[in-house]
Amino acid sequence: MLLAAPMADAAAPIQDEVMARAAVLYAGRLAERIIDRDERFTARVRAIAEVLVAQARRDYPETAAWAWEVHTTDDPDQNADCMAGGKILVSKAYVERLQLNDDELAMLLAHEIEHATLHHNLKEYEAAIRMEPAWLQRPFIELEYAVDHDRTLMGKLAETNYAQEEEADLEGLRLAWRAGWPAERLSGYFRKMMRASDSPRRSKADYPSPVQRWRAAQAVAADLQKK
Query: Which positions lie near Zn ion, rule CB under 5 A?
Result: 165, 168
Q: How crowded is the C-beta side of 117, counted as CA atoms within 13 Å?
A: 25
Rounded to 5°, the CA angle 33-38-41 comes to 115
> CA 143, CA 149: separation in Å to the nearest integer?
10
For helices 102-117 and 151-178, angle between their N-to-C axes, nearest 10 degrees:
120
> CA 164, CA 21: separation in Å to the nearest integer?
20
Min separation Cβ 115 and Zn ion, Å? 5
69-73 vs 87-91, strand pairing mode: parallel
Min separation Cβ 138 and Zn ion, Å? 27
Nearer to Zn ion, 36 or 165 (CB): 165
Nearer to Zn ion, 22 or 168 (CB): 168
Nearer to Zn ion, 168 or 221 (CB): 168
**Nearest-CB residue for Zn ion:** 168
> CA 141, CA 27: separation in Å to the nearest integer?
16
Nearer to Zn ion, 38 or 203 (CB): 203
Contact of 72 with 49, CB cutoff 8 Å: no
Min separation Cβ 91 and Zn ion, Å? 14
Min separation Cβ 191 and Zn ion, Å? 17
Nearer to Zn ion, 29 or 135 (CB): 29
Instruction: Give the CA diameter of the chain.
Output: 57
Residue type for position 64? A
Min separation Cβ 133 and Zn ion, Å? 27
